């Protein structure tokens, strides 16, 4: 392996499970009735450090780490000193590039200015706050608990303590969210001291509380047509504010693009630490046991936490290359596609979903209209 290795670090704990969330996260009560986060997470970072030693023993590359991403769950429930110990261990074992990007996801209700300062001192230099919406009734439908006013405070504090890159995550298409609600969310986000926005269309995932509410008829399914209109409005407003789209659901300015996510979209190598975390090394994919208790048992017994693995076929790698590459502004080289695939999508040129200018320059790239039907274009290419 000669390519750089990024790290994703999964923090599986949340104080409360949001109704729309199907991530591999757990509340203290789900792990141990009557406990709190401090109790169930006690020693967790030491387990992750042990897993990182396994990674060091298996990865032969001497390349330094270019990006690290703390995701969850709610990573900001962890003590900054513990996260700092983990970072120091990774730096000692692998080395960091001079311009390493270290991101942490944050619930605005779980941070203070002092905690943000401690996270920054630990080496974390990029932070992404889960804002979702500026509308209280939309947050209630999503089962989010944070106070919208705390997003304003938290992003300002993050800038004051030295975070170079500050992002917010938004969700559109929540049942009951009007265009006016969404426009107010966009305006509120753009008023923040940030240089990155991620905006995702709500997907009602089976097995979630929200899916059960929809199935019972308590909440209507999101309107796909209105969601498309909301995407177009977001792109228009973000662009007018100087934010450039660099992936279907992401906009940045002043160098604020998330390099860790770009590594995913380009098929680079990464190792996922923690329960349920996925890894990718040169076409091999593997993933850990999902439950934190099972993960703890494996690590404490000095066993690998890896549950399963697979070697991607050439067809799988090609499918992922097309699916991920088309999401980026530069799109795909025409030379990398078959003549049959090019013929299958040529109609999207005349209908305006593919850029004629890029086509003439030898690339297949989406227009704004094309971004709305990206999945359909991918299916046509791969047929």
Q: What is the pLDDT of residues 320-363, one digit of tens each?
A: 999 999 999 999 999 999 999 999 999 999 999 999 999 999 99
Would you say residue 141 has pLDDT above 90? no
Going across the sheet that includes 65-72, the strands are 244-247, 250-252, 196-201, 165-172, 126-132, 96-106, 65-72, 5-11, 269-273, 278-281, 284-288, 306-311
Q: What's the per-residue H, E or C state across 160-193?
A: HCCCCEEEEEEEECCCCCCHHHHHHHHHHHHCCC
Q: What is the pLDDT of residues 79-137, one digit of tens each?
A: 999 999 999 999 999 999 999 999 999 999 999 999 999 999 999 999 999 999 999 99
How far apart, in whole angstroms, are the C-alpha atoms of residue 264 and residue 144?
A: 27
Report the 10 Å Cβ neighbour count for 166. Answer: 22
Q: Give 324's Cβ-side CA count (13 Å radius).
A: 14
**Domain spans, the chain:** 5-265, 315-382
278 contacts 285 by C-beta, under 8 angstroms? yes
Is the pLDDT at 208 greater than 70? The verdict is: yes
In angstroms, the Cα distances linking 10 to 71, 129, 354 are 5, 16, 37
| Alpha carbons 129 and 182: distance in angstroms, whole number | 18
**Which pLDDT value is given to residue 18?**
75
Instruction: Output phi, psi for 351, to 5 deg.
Output: -85, -5
Res. 22: pLDDT tops 60: yes
pLDDT tens track for 213-250: 777 877 777 677 789 999 999 999 999 999 999 999 99
> What are the tens digits of pLDDT across the range 43-84?
999 999 999 999 999 998 889 999 999 999 999 999 999 999
Question: Confidence class of residue 40 from pLDDT cuts 50, 70 and 90?
Answer: confident
Residue 211 predicted with pLDDT over 70 = no
CA 110 – CA 44 distance, rounded (Å): 19
pLDDT of 53 reads 97
Could you tell me the pTM of the whole model?
A: 0.94
Determine the pLDDT at residue 295: 97
Binned at pLDDT 50, 70 and 90, residue 205 comes out as low
Tens of pLDDT along 242-283?
A: 999 999 999 999 999 999 999 999 999 999 999 999 999 999
The full DSSP string for 346-377 is THHHHTTSB-HHHHHTTEE-B-HHHHTTHHHH
Q: Name the pLDDT band for 29 (thresholds 50, 70, 90).
A: confident
Bridging pattern class, strands 126-132 and 332-333 = unpaired
Tell me the average pLDDT of the chain. 93
Q: What is the mean pLDDT of residues 21-26?
A: 78
pLDDT digits (tens, 9 = 90+) for 150-203: 999 999 999 999 999 999 999 999 988 999 999 999 999 999 999 999 999 987
Could you tell me which CATH number the domain at 5-265 has? 3.20.20.70
Please tell me the predicted confidence (pLDDT) of residue 19. 66
Is residue 1's pLDDT more than 60? no
Residue 294 pLDDT greater than 70, yes or no: yes
């Amino acid at each position: 392996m000669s390519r750089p290795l990024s790290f994703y670090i999964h923090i599986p704990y949340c104080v409360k499970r949001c109704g729309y969330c199907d991530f591999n996260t757990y509340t203290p009560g789900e792990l141990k009735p009557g406990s709190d986060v401090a109790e169930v997470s006690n020693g967790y970072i030491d387990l992750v450090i042990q897993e990182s030693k396994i990674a060091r023993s298996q990865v032969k590359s001497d390349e330094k780490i270019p990006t690290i991403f703390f995701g969850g769950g709610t990573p900001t429930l962890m003590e900054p000193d513990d996260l700092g110990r983990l970072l120091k261990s990774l730096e000692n074992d692998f080395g960091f590039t001079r311009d390493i990007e270290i991101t942490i996801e944050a619930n605005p209700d779980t941070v203070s200015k002092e905690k943000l300062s401690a996270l920054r001192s630990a080496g974390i230099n990029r932070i992404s706050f889960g804002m979702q919406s500026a509308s209280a009734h939309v947050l209630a439908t999503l089962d989010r608990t944070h106070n919208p006013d705390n997003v304003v405070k938290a992003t300002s504090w993050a800038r004051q303590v030295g975070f170079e890159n500050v992002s917010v995550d938004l969700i559109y298409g929540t049942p009951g969210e009007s265009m006016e609600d969404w426009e107010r969310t966009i305006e509120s986000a753009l008023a923040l001291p940030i240089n990155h926005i991620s905006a995702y269309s709500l997907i009602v995932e089976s097995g979630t509380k929200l899916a059960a509410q929809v199935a019972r008829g308590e909440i209507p399914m999101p309107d796909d047509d209105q969601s498309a209109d909301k995407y177009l409005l977001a792109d228009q407003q973000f662009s007018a504010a100087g934010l450039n789209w660099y992936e279907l659901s992401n906009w940045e300015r002043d160098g604020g693009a998330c390099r860790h996510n770009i590594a995913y979209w380009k098929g680079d190598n990464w190792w996922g630490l923690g329960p349920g975390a996925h890894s990718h090394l040169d076409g091999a994919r593997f993933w850990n046991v999902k439950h934190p208790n099972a993960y703890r048992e494996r690590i404490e017994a000095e066993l690998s936490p890896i549950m399963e693995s697979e070697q991607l076929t050439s067809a799988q790698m090609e499918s992922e290359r097309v699916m991920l590459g088309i999401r980026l502004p530069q799109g795909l080289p025409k030379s990398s596609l078959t003549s049959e695939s090019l013929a299958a999508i040529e109609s999207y040129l005349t209908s305006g979903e593919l850029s004629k200018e890029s086509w003439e320059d030898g690339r297949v790239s989406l227009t704004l209209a094309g971004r709305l039907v990206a999945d359909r274009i991918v299916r046509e290419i791969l047929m």
